[in-house]
A and B are shown apart, each in its own frame.
Chain A
Amino acid sequence: MSANDLERKIVVIGAGPAGAKAAMAIADLGSNVLLIDENPYVGGQLVKQTHKFFGSKDLYCGLRGFEIAKIFEEEIKKRNNIELLLNSCAVGLYLEDNKKVIAVVNEEKLIKVISDVLILATGAYENFLLFENNDLPGVYGAGAVQTLVNQYGVRPGKRCLMVGSGNIGLIVAYQLLQADIEVAAVIEILPKVTGWYVHYAKLKRCGVPILTSHTIVKAIGKDYVEGAVIAKVNKNFKIIKGSEKRLKVDFICLAVGLTPFVDLLWQINGQLKYIPELGGFVPYYDENYETSIPNIFVCGDVSGIEEASTAMLEGEIAGISAYEKIYGETKETKELKEKKKKELLNLRKGPHSKKILVGLKKLRNDS
Protein backbone atom coordinates (compact mmCIF):
# COMPACT_ATOMS: atom_id res chain seq x y z
CA MET A 1 0.00 0.00 0.00
CA SER A 2 1.25 3.47 -0.80
CA ALA A 3 0.38 6.72 0.94
CA ASN A 4 -2.39 7.49 -1.52
CA ASP A 5 -4.15 4.15 -1.12
CA LEU A 6 -7.37 3.86 0.85
CA GLU A 7 -8.52 0.59 2.35
CA ARG A 8 -12.15 0.48 3.51
CA LYS A 9 -14.64 -2.26 4.38
CA ILE A 10 -17.58 -0.87 2.38
CA VAL A 11 -17.33 1.46 -0.60
CA VAL A 12 -20.17 3.00 -2.63
CA ILE A 13 -19.50 4.42 -6.09
CA GLY A 14 -21.98 7.09 -7.14
CA ALA A 15 -23.75 9.57 -4.85
CA GLY A 16 -26.98 9.89 -6.79
CA PRO A 17 -30.33 8.83 -5.28
CA ALA A 18 -29.34 5.13 -5.08
CA GLY A 19 -25.75 5.52 -3.87
CA ALA A 20 -26.51 8.30 -1.37
CA LYS A 21 -29.33 6.27 0.17
CA ALA A 22 -27.16 3.13 0.25
CA ALA A 23 -24.43 4.99 2.14
CA MET A 24 -26.97 6.44 4.60
CA ALA A 25 -28.51 3.01 5.24
CA ILE A 26 -25.06 1.53 5.95
CA ALA A 27 -24.11 4.42 8.23
CA ASP A 28 -27.40 4.22 10.13
CA LEU A 29 -26.77 0.56 10.89
CA GLY A 30 -23.52 1.66 12.51
CA SER A 31 -20.82 0.97 9.93
CA ASN A 32 -18.33 3.27 8.31
CA VAL A 33 -18.69 3.73 4.58
CA LEU A 34 -16.74 5.49 1.84
CA LEU A 35 -18.92 7.27 -0.75
CA ILE A 36 -17.24 8.28 -4.03
CA ASP A 37 -18.62 10.58 -6.75
CA GLU A 38 -17.10 12.23 -9.79
CA ASN A 39 -19.05 15.46 -9.34
CA PRO A 40 -18.25 18.23 -6.86
CA TYR A 41 -21.67 17.64 -5.22
CA VAL A 42 -23.94 14.80 -4.12
CA GLY A 43 -27.35 14.03 -5.62
CA GLY A 44 -26.32 12.93 -9.11
CA GLN A 45 -28.89 14.01 -11.67
CA LEU A 46 -31.29 15.27 -8.96
CA VAL A 47 -29.48 18.62 -8.92
CA LYS A 48 -30.95 19.54 -12.31
CA GLN A 49 -34.51 18.38 -11.70
CA THR A 50 -37.06 21.05 -10.89
CA HIS A 51 -40.29 19.03 -10.90
CA LYS A 52 -41.96 17.80 -7.73
CA PHE A 53 -41.64 14.17 -6.71
CA PHE A 54 -44.50 11.80 -5.92
CA GLY A 55 -44.55 8.81 -3.58
CA SER A 56 -44.33 8.81 0.18
CA LYS A 57 -42.89 11.21 2.79
CA ASP A 58 -39.89 8.90 3.22
CA LEU A 59 -39.20 9.39 -0.46
CA TYR A 60 -39.45 13.18 -0.27
CA CYS A 61 -42.80 13.59 -2.04
CA GLY A 62 -43.74 17.18 -2.80
CA LEU A 63 -40.11 18.26 -2.99
CA ARG A 64 -38.21 19.09 -6.14
CA GLY A 65 -35.13 17.13 -7.26
CA PHE A 66 -32.61 19.86 -6.45
CA GLU A 67 -34.15 20.26 -2.99
CA ILE A 68 -33.77 16.52 -2.36
CA ALA A 69 -30.10 16.76 -3.42
CA LYS A 70 -29.61 19.47 -0.76
CA ILE A 71 -31.22 17.25 1.89
CA PHE A 72 -28.87 14.42 0.89
CA GLU A 73 -25.90 16.72 1.33
CA GLU A 74 -27.04 17.73 4.83
CA GLU A 75 -27.92 14.17 5.82
CA ILE A 76 -24.53 12.88 4.66
CA LYS A 77 -22.68 15.65 6.52
CA LYS A 78 -24.63 14.81 9.70
CA ARG A 79 -23.35 11.24 9.70
CA ASN A 80 -19.71 11.23 10.70
CA ASN A 81 -19.33 7.60 9.63
CA ILE A 82 -19.83 8.53 5.96
CA GLU A 83 -16.55 9.51 4.35
CA LEU A 84 -17.27 11.52 1.20
CA LEU A 85 -14.81 11.62 -1.69
CA LEU A 86 -16.04 14.09 -4.33
CA ASN A 87 -14.45 15.12 -7.66
CA SER A 88 -13.34 11.52 -7.89
CA CYS A 89 -14.08 9.35 -10.89
CA ALA A 90 -13.88 5.55 -10.63
CA VAL A 91 -12.22 4.49 -13.88
CA GLY A 92 -11.16 0.92 -13.23
CA LEU A 93 -12.11 -2.11 -11.19
CA TYR A 94 -9.96 -5.16 -10.44
CA LEU A 95 -10.19 -8.20 -8.21
CA GLU A 96 -7.20 -9.04 -6.03
CA ASP A 97 -7.71 -12.10 -3.83
CA ASN A 98 -11.05 -11.31 -2.24
CA LYS A 99 -10.60 -7.57 -2.41
CA LYS A 100 -12.15 -5.18 -4.85
CA VAL A 101 -9.61 -2.67 -6.10
CA ILE A 102 -10.92 0.53 -7.62
CA ALA A 103 -8.83 2.97 -9.63
CA VAL A 104 -10.07 6.45 -8.82
CA VAL A 105 -8.98 9.65 -10.54
CA ASN A 106 -9.12 12.65 -8.23
CA GLU A 107 -8.16 15.89 -10.02
CA GLU A 108 -4.86 14.76 -11.59
CA LYS A 109 -4.05 12.04 -9.02
CA LEU A 110 -4.71 8.32 -9.25
CA ILE A 111 -5.93 6.79 -5.98
CA LYS A 112 -6.14 3.07 -5.29
CA VAL A 113 -9.22 2.25 -3.23
CA ILE A 114 -9.40 -1.26 -1.77
CA SER A 115 -12.67 -2.62 -0.41
CA ASP A 116 -14.25 -5.81 0.89
CA VAL A 117 -17.78 -5.00 -0.18
CA LEU A 118 -18.59 -2.69 -3.07
CA ILE A 119 -21.83 -1.05 -4.20
CA LEU A 120 -21.98 0.21 -7.78
CA ALA A 121 -24.51 3.01 -8.12
CA THR A 122 -23.06 4.42 -11.30
CA GLY A 123 -26.33 5.39 -12.99
CA ALA A 124 -26.77 5.61 -16.73
CA TYR A 125 -25.89 7.60 -19.82
CA GLU A 126 -28.12 9.03 -22.52
CA ASN A 127 -28.93 7.26 -25.76
CA PHE A 128 -28.16 8.87 -29.07
CA LEU A 129 -30.28 8.70 -32.21
CA LEU A 130 -29.23 8.15 -35.81
CA PHE A 131 -30.35 10.82 -38.29
CA GLU A 132 -28.72 13.09 -40.86
CA ASN A 133 -26.53 15.80 -39.28
CA ASN A 134 -26.99 14.42 -35.79
CA ASP A 135 -23.51 15.72 -34.96
CA LEU A 136 -24.38 19.35 -35.66
CA PRO A 137 -23.84 21.71 -32.71
CA GLY A 138 -27.26 22.35 -31.19
CA VAL A 139 -28.23 18.68 -31.00
CA TYR A 140 -28.23 18.06 -27.26
CA GLY A 141 -29.02 15.27 -24.87
CA ALA A 142 -31.94 16.10 -22.57
CA GLY A 143 -29.62 15.85 -19.57
CA ALA A 144 -27.31 18.46 -21.08
CA VAL A 145 -30.22 20.82 -21.64
CA GLN A 146 -31.27 20.37 -18.00
CA THR A 147 -27.71 20.99 -16.85
CA LEU A 148 -27.42 24.19 -18.85
CA VAL A 149 -30.86 25.59 -18.11
CA ASN A 150 -31.55 24.46 -14.55
CA GLN A 151 -28.10 24.21 -13.04
CA TYR A 152 -26.27 27.07 -14.73
CA GLY A 153 -29.08 29.33 -15.94
CA VAL A 154 -28.04 29.39 -19.60
CA ARG A 155 -30.47 28.89 -22.48
CA PRO A 156 -29.18 26.67 -25.27
CA GLY A 157 -31.48 28.47 -27.72
CA LYS A 158 -34.84 30.12 -28.29
CA ARG A 159 -36.90 27.38 -29.87
CA CYS A 160 -36.59 23.64 -29.37
CA LEU A 161 -37.65 20.41 -30.99
CA MET A 162 -38.00 17.72 -28.33
CA VAL A 163 -37.52 14.16 -29.56
CA GLY A 164 -39.12 11.58 -27.25
CA SER A 165 -42.24 11.69 -25.09
CA GLY A 166 -41.07 9.61 -22.15
CA ASN A 167 -41.02 11.29 -18.75
CA ILE A 168 -37.69 12.98 -19.43
CA GLY A 169 -38.87 14.44 -22.76
CA LEU A 170 -42.11 15.72 -21.26
CA ILE A 171 -40.57 17.08 -18.08
CA VAL A 172 -37.67 18.81 -19.83
CA ALA A 173 -40.03 20.32 -22.44
CA TYR A 174 -42.04 21.86 -19.59
CA GLN A 175 -38.84 23.09 -17.93
CA LEU A 176 -37.94 24.85 -21.19
CA LEU A 177 -41.25 26.73 -21.10
CA GLN A 178 -40.47 27.77 -17.53
CA ALA A 179 -37.17 29.17 -18.78
CA ASP A 180 -38.98 31.18 -21.46
CA ILE A 181 -37.89 28.92 -24.31
CA GLU A 182 -40.40 27.94 -27.00
CA VAL A 183 -41.06 24.27 -27.69
CA ALA A 184 -41.97 23.86 -31.38
CA ALA A 185 -43.13 20.29 -30.82
CA VAL A 186 -42.55 17.11 -28.87
CA ILE A 187 -42.32 14.18 -31.29
CA GLU A 188 -42.70 10.50 -30.47
CA ILE A 189 -42.11 7.58 -32.85
CA LEU A 190 -44.59 5.31 -31.02
CA PRO A 191 -48.33 5.77 -31.65
CA LYS A 192 -48.78 6.97 -28.05
CA VAL A 193 -47.13 9.20 -25.47
CA THR A 194 -44.97 7.04 -23.20
CA GLY A 195 -44.52 9.32 -20.17
CA TRP A 196 -46.91 9.93 -17.29
CA TYR A 197 -50.21 11.62 -18.04
CA VAL A 198 -49.60 14.34 -15.45
CA HIS A 199 -46.50 15.56 -17.32
CA TYR A 200 -48.25 15.25 -20.70
CA ALA A 201 -51.25 17.26 -19.48
CA LYS A 202 -49.08 20.17 -18.31
CA LEU A 203 -47.59 20.55 -21.78
CA LYS A 204 -50.92 20.12 -23.50
CA ARG A 205 -52.41 22.92 -21.39
CA CYS A 206 -49.60 25.20 -22.56
CA GLY A 207 -50.46 24.44 -26.18
CA VAL A 208 -47.32 22.51 -27.09
CA PRO A 209 -47.97 20.22 -30.09
CA ILE A 210 -47.28 16.61 -29.16
CA LEU A 211 -46.97 14.56 -32.34
CA THR A 212 -47.09 10.77 -32.01
CA SER A 213 -45.99 8.43 -34.86
CA HIS A 214 -43.43 11.08 -35.83
CA THR A 215 -39.66 10.94 -36.11
CA ILE A 216 -36.79 13.29 -36.91
CA VAL A 217 -35.39 12.99 -40.45
CA LYS A 218 -32.55 15.46 -40.27
CA ALA A 219 -31.09 18.52 -38.63
CA ILE A 220 -30.58 21.56 -40.85
CA GLY A 221 -27.87 24.19 -40.53
CA LYS A 222 -24.37 25.08 -41.67
CA ASP A 223 -22.48 25.68 -38.45
CA TYR A 224 -25.22 24.83 -35.95
CA VAL A 225 -28.87 23.83 -35.86
CA GLU A 226 -31.18 26.22 -37.69
CA GLY A 227 -34.04 23.83 -38.29
CA ALA A 228 -35.21 20.25 -38.34
CA VAL A 229 -37.18 18.03 -40.69
CA ILE A 230 -39.71 15.72 -39.08
CA ALA A 231 -42.01 13.16 -40.70
CA LYS A 232 -44.83 10.77 -39.94
CA VAL A 233 -44.10 7.05 -39.66
CA ASN A 234 -46.27 4.04 -40.44
CA LYS A 235 -46.85 1.17 -38.03
CA ASN A 236 -43.52 -0.38 -39.02
CA PHE A 237 -41.79 2.88 -38.09
CA LYS A 238 -40.98 3.64 -41.74
CA ILE A 239 -41.20 7.27 -42.85
CA ILE A 240 -44.34 8.05 -44.87
CA LYS A 241 -43.12 9.82 -48.01
CA GLY A 242 -44.56 13.27 -48.50
CA SER A 243 -45.27 13.78 -44.79
CA GLU A 244 -41.98 15.61 -44.16
CA LYS A 245 -42.31 18.95 -42.46
CA ARG A 246 -39.68 21.56 -41.77
CA LEU A 247 -39.57 23.22 -38.34
CA LYS A 248 -37.67 26.37 -37.54
CA VAL A 249 -35.80 25.58 -34.33
CA ASP A 250 -32.35 26.51 -33.06
CA PHE A 251 -31.78 23.42 -30.97
CA ILE A 252 -32.87 19.80 -30.86
CA CYS A 253 -33.17 17.92 -27.61
CA LEU A 254 -32.91 14.11 -27.61
CA ALA A 255 -34.81 12.34 -24.86
CA VAL A 256 -34.64 8.85 -26.29
CA GLY A 257 -33.81 6.77 -23.29
CA LEU A 258 -30.87 5.80 -21.15
CA THR A 259 -28.38 2.97 -21.02
CA PRO A 260 -27.13 1.54 -17.70
CA PHE A 261 -23.52 2.44 -16.96
CA VAL A 262 -22.21 -1.09 -16.41
CA ASP A 263 -18.60 -0.56 -17.51
CA LEU A 264 -16.96 -1.18 -14.13
CA LEU A 265 -18.66 -4.55 -13.65
CA TRP A 266 -17.92 -5.40 -17.26
CA GLN A 267 -14.19 -4.92 -16.66
CA ILE A 268 -14.15 -7.79 -14.17
CA ASN A 269 -16.41 -10.08 -16.21
CA GLY A 270 -19.46 -9.66 -14.03
CA GLN A 271 -22.43 -11.37 -15.66
CA LEU A 272 -24.48 -9.04 -17.84
CA LYS A 273 -27.80 -9.79 -19.53
CA TYR A 274 -29.43 -8.03 -22.44
CA ILE A 275 -32.89 -6.97 -21.30
CA PRO A 276 -34.50 -4.22 -23.40
CA GLU A 277 -37.12 -3.53 -20.69
CA LEU A 278 -34.31 -2.56 -18.29
CA GLY A 279 -32.42 -0.42 -20.81
CA GLY A 280 -30.06 -2.87 -22.55
CA PHE A 281 -27.17 -4.70 -20.93
CA VAL A 282 -27.72 -4.86 -17.17
CA PRO A 283 -25.84 -6.73 -14.47
CA TYR A 284 -27.36 -9.96 -13.26
CA TYR A 285 -28.29 -9.51 -9.58
CA ASP A 286 -30.32 -11.39 -6.99
CA GLU A 287 -33.11 -10.11 -4.72
CA ASN A 288 -30.55 -8.53 -2.42
CA TYR A 289 -28.98 -6.69 -5.36
CA GLU A 290 -25.81 -8.80 -5.27
CA THR A 291 -24.24 -9.36 -8.71
CA SER A 292 -22.66 -12.57 -10.05
CA ILE A 293 -19.46 -11.48 -8.29
CA PRO A 294 -19.78 -12.04 -4.55
CA ASN A 295 -19.75 -8.88 -2.43
CA ILE A 296 -20.44 -6.57 -5.37
CA PHE A 297 -23.88 -4.96 -5.38
CA VAL A 298 -25.72 -2.71 -7.83
CA CYS A 299 -28.65 -0.31 -7.36
CA GLY A 300 -30.39 2.52 -9.17
CA ASP A 301 -30.30 3.06 -12.92
CA VAL A 302 -27.26 0.82 -13.44
CA SER A 303 -29.46 -2.09 -12.37
CA GLY A 304 -32.23 -1.11 -14.82
CA ILE A 305 -33.53 2.26 -16.00
CA GLU A 306 -36.35 3.43 -13.76
CA GLU A 307 -36.66 6.60 -11.67
CA ALA A 308 -35.28 8.28 -8.57
CA SER A 309 -37.80 7.08 -5.96
CA THR A 310 -37.30 3.40 -6.76
CA ALA A 311 -33.54 4.02 -7.01
CA MET A 312 -33.57 5.29 -3.40
CA LEU A 313 -35.27 2.14 -2.15
CA GLU A 314 -32.96 -0.09 -4.16
CA GLY A 315 -30.04 1.79 -2.65
CA GLU A 316 -31.33 1.15 0.85
CA ILE A 317 -31.83 -2.56 0.16
CA ALA A 318 -28.36 -2.89 -1.40
CA GLY A 319 -26.90 -0.92 1.52
CA ILE A 320 -28.47 -3.16 4.15
CA SER A 321 -27.33 -6.27 2.21
CA ALA A 322 -23.78 -4.91 1.97
CA TYR A 323 -23.74 -4.26 5.73
CA GLU A 324 -24.89 -7.84 6.40
CA LYS A 325 -21.96 -9.18 4.38
CA ILE A 326 -19.51 -7.72 6.88
CA TYR A 327 -21.43 -7.72 10.16
CA GLY A 328 -23.91 -10.55 9.65
CA GLU A 329 -27.67 -10.62 9.42
CA THR A 330 -29.60 -9.53 12.51
CA LYS A 331 -33.29 -9.25 13.33
CA GLU A 332 -33.01 -5.52 12.76
CA THR A 333 -31.40 -5.76 9.32
CA LYS A 334 -33.78 -8.50 8.24
CA GLU A 335 -36.89 -6.56 9.24
CA LEU A 336 -35.64 -3.32 7.75
CA LYS A 337 -34.82 -4.98 4.46
CA GLU A 338 -38.23 -6.67 4.29
CA LYS A 339 -39.87 -3.31 4.93
CA LYS A 340 -37.92 -1.64 2.12
CA LYS A 341 -38.68 -4.50 -0.27
CA LYS A 342 -42.38 -4.14 0.49
CA GLU A 343 -42.25 -0.38 -0.13
CA LEU A 344 -40.52 -0.98 -3.45
CA LEU A 345 -43.15 -3.51 -4.45
CA ASN A 346 -45.86 -0.97 -3.58
CA LEU A 347 -44.17 1.72 -5.63
CA ARG A 348 -44.14 -0.60 -8.62
CA LYS A 349 -47.87 -1.30 -8.53
CA GLY A 350 -48.80 1.32 -11.14
CA PRO A 351 -49.22 0.67 -14.86
CA HIS A 352 -45.92 2.42 -15.64
CA SER A 353 -43.95 -0.21 -13.73
CA LYS A 354 -45.18 -3.09 -15.88
CA LYS A 355 -42.15 -2.88 -18.15
CA ILE A 356 -39.71 -2.99 -15.22
CA LEU A 357 -41.48 -5.98 -13.69
CA VAL A 358 -41.31 -7.87 -17.01
CA GLY A 359 -37.61 -7.00 -17.24
CA LEU A 360 -36.88 -8.15 -13.69
CA LYS A 361 -38.65 -11.44 -14.35
CA LYS A 362 -36.45 -12.01 -17.40
CA LEU A 363 -33.36 -11.14 -15.36
CA ARG A 364 -34.12 -13.75 -12.70
CA ASN A 365 -35.56 -16.50 -14.85
CA ASP A 366 -33.09 -18.10 -17.18
CA SER A 367 -29.81 -17.48 -15.44
Chain B
Amino acid sequence: MPKENYNPRIFEHPILKFEKKKLVKFYFEGKEYYGYEDEPIAAALIANGIKVFHITKEKKRKRGFFCAIGRCSSCLMKVDGKKNVMVCITKLKEGMRIERQ
Protein backbone atom coordinates (compact mmCIF):
# COMPACT_ATOMS: atom_id res chain seq x y z
CA MET B 1 0.00 0.00 0.00
CA PRO B 2 2.50 2.75 0.91
CA LYS B 3 3.56 4.43 -2.27
CA GLU B 4 6.98 5.93 -2.58
CA ASN B 5 7.12 9.70 -2.37
CA TYR B 6 3.48 9.82 -1.45
CA ASN B 7 2.05 13.30 -1.46
CA PRO B 8 -1.62 13.98 -0.77
CA ARG B 9 -1.48 16.74 -3.40
CA ILE B 10 -2.32 15.65 -6.93
CA PHE B 11 0.03 17.11 -9.53
CA GLU B 12 -0.73 14.85 -12.48
CA HIS B 13 -4.21 13.78 -13.48
CA PRO B 14 -5.52 12.33 -16.77
CA ILE B 15 -8.43 14.79 -16.99
CA LEU B 16 -8.01 17.63 -14.55
CA LYS B 17 -5.45 20.40 -14.41
CA PHE B 18 -4.81 21.95 -11.02
CA GLU B 19 -3.53 25.49 -11.36
CA LYS B 20 -0.62 26.36 -9.18
CA LYS B 21 -1.91 28.81 -6.63
CA LYS B 22 -0.17 31.08 -4.17
CA LEU B 23 1.36 29.21 -1.24
CA VAL B 24 0.49 30.75 2.13
CA LYS B 25 1.64 30.08 5.68
CA PHE B 26 -0.89 29.15 8.35
CA TYR B 27 -0.81 27.79 11.90
CA PHE B 28 -2.50 24.68 13.25
CA GLU B 29 -2.34 24.35 17.04
CA GLY B 30 0.50 26.84 16.94
CA LYS B 31 2.62 24.92 14.44
CA GLU B 32 3.50 26.31 11.03
CA TYR B 33 2.11 24.75 7.83
CA TYR B 34 1.61 25.74 4.19
CA GLY B 35 -1.43 25.57 1.97
CA TYR B 36 -2.82 27.24 -1.12
CA GLU B 37 -4.54 30.58 -0.76
CA ASP B 38 -8.35 30.38 -1.03
CA GLU B 39 -8.58 26.60 -0.91
CA PRO B 40 -10.87 25.37 1.88
CA ILE B 41 -9.03 25.24 5.22
CA ALA B 42 -10.04 21.56 5.44
CA ALA B 43 -8.26 20.74 2.16
CA ALA B 44 -5.08 22.40 3.42
CA LEU B 45 -5.24 20.45 6.69
CA ILE B 46 -5.73 17.11 4.93
CA ALA B 47 -2.95 17.91 2.46
CA ASN B 48 -0.73 18.34 5.54
CA GLY B 49 -1.78 14.99 6.98
CA ILE B 50 -4.04 16.50 9.66
CA LYS B 51 -7.16 14.36 9.92
CA VAL B 52 -8.53 15.04 13.40
CA PHE B 53 -10.38 18.38 13.32
CA HIS B 54 -12.30 18.14 16.52
CA ILE B 55 -12.47 16.07 19.73
CA THR B 56 -15.90 15.77 21.31
CA LYS B 57 -16.29 17.23 24.79
CA GLU B 58 -17.83 14.35 26.66
CA LYS B 59 -16.73 11.14 25.02
CA LYS B 60 -13.49 12.48 23.54
CA ARG B 61 -14.25 10.97 20.16
CA LYS B 62 -12.29 12.23 17.21
CA ARG B 63 -14.09 13.96 14.38
CA GLY B 64 -12.88 14.74 10.89
CA PHE B 65 -14.01 16.01 7.53
CA PHE B 66 -17.28 14.48 6.33
CA CYS B 67 -19.60 16.32 3.93
CA ALA B 68 -17.37 19.11 2.53
CA ILE B 69 -20.32 21.36 1.70
CA GLY B 70 -21.20 23.05 4.97
CA ARG B 71 -23.97 20.71 6.02
CA CYS B 72 -22.82 18.25 8.66
CA SER B 73 -20.92 20.33 11.28
CA SER B 74 -18.28 17.62 11.71
CA CYS B 75 -15.51 20.08 10.83
CA LEU B 76 -16.20 22.94 13.27
CA MET B 77 -12.94 24.56 14.39
CA LYS B 78 -11.60 27.74 15.93
CA VAL B 79 -10.22 30.08 13.27
CA ASP B 80 -8.44 33.30 14.29
CA GLY B 81 -10.12 33.06 17.67
CA LYS B 82 -13.62 32.55 16.29
CA LYS B 83 -15.34 29.31 17.27
CA ASN B 84 -17.64 27.07 15.22
CA VAL B 85 -16.15 27.89 11.82
CA MET B 86 -16.98 25.31 9.15
CA VAL B 87 -13.50 24.77 7.78
CA CYS B 88 -14.82 22.83 4.77
CA ILE B 89 -16.29 26.01 3.25
CA THR B 90 -13.99 28.66 4.71
CA LYS B 91 -11.13 29.81 2.52
CA LEU B 92 -7.54 29.66 3.69
CA LYS B 93 -5.77 33.02 4.06
CA GLU B 94 -2.17 33.96 4.88
CA GLY B 95 -1.36 33.76 8.57
CA MET B 96 -4.59 32.10 9.69
CA ARG B 97 -4.55 30.50 13.13
CA ILE B 98 -6.51 27.28 13.21
CA GLU B 99 -7.16 25.34 16.41
CA ARG B 100 -9.30 22.49 17.67
CA GLN B 101 -12.04 24.08 19.72
Contacts and interface: CB of A to CB of B under 8 A. Distances in A.
Contacts of A179: 10, 13
A299 interface: no
Interface residues of A, number: 35
B13 to A, nearest CB: 6
Contacts of A155: 8-10
A224 B51 contact: yes
Contact of B68 (A64, A89, A148, A250): A148
A165 to B, nearest CB: 21
Contact of B13 (A153, A156, A224): A153
Given A137-B51, A158-B1, A224-B52, A148 B67 contact: no
A136 B62 contact: yes
Given A143-B67, A144-B66, A137 B52 contact: yes
A178 B16 CA distance: 10
A96 interface: no
Interface in A124-153: 125-126, 135-141, 143-144, 147-150, 152-153
Which interface residue of A147, A158, A182 has the most chain B CB atoms within 10 A? A147
Interface in A217-272: 223-224, 248, 250
Contacts of B11: 153
Contacts of A126: 67
Interface residues of B, number: 35
Contact of A153 (B2, B18, B64, B72): B18
B66 A154 contact: no
A314 interface: no
A141 B67 contact: yes
Contact of B16 (A148, A153, A156): A153
Contact of B64 (A50, A136, A149): A136
B13 A141 contact: no
Contacts of B14: 178
B22 interface: no
A356 B69 CA distance: 26
B8 A223 contact: no
B10 A158 contact: no
B1 A154 contact: no
Given A147-B69, A154-B10, A154-B43, A137 B16 contact: no
A287 B18 CA distance: 42
A38 interface: yes
Contact of B67 (A66, A136, A144, A178): A144
A178 B64 contact: no
A100 interface: no
A180 interface: yes
Given A38-B70, A148-B46, A223 B1 contact: no
B62 A224 contact: yes
B8 A154 contact: yes
Contacts of A180: 3, 10
Contacts of B47: 154
Given A152-B40, A152-B43, A180-B10, A144 B15 contact: no
Contacts of A154: 8-10, 43, 46-47
Interface in B27-82: 39-40, 43, 46-47, 51-53, 61-72, 74
10 contacts: A126-B67, A135-B61, A137-B52, A140-B68, A141-B68, A148-B68, A149-B10, A154-B43, A158-B6, A178-B14
Interface of A: 38, 50, 64, 66, 89, 125-126, 135-141, 143-144, 147-150, 152-156, 158-159, 178-180, 182, 223-224, 248, 250
Given A125-B69, A179-B10, 10 more contacts: A89-B70, A137-B52, A139-B66, A143-B67, A148-B43, A148-B46, A150-B16, A153-B9, A180-B10, A224-B52
Closest 4 CB pairs of A and B: A137-B64, A144-B68, A153-B18, A147-B68
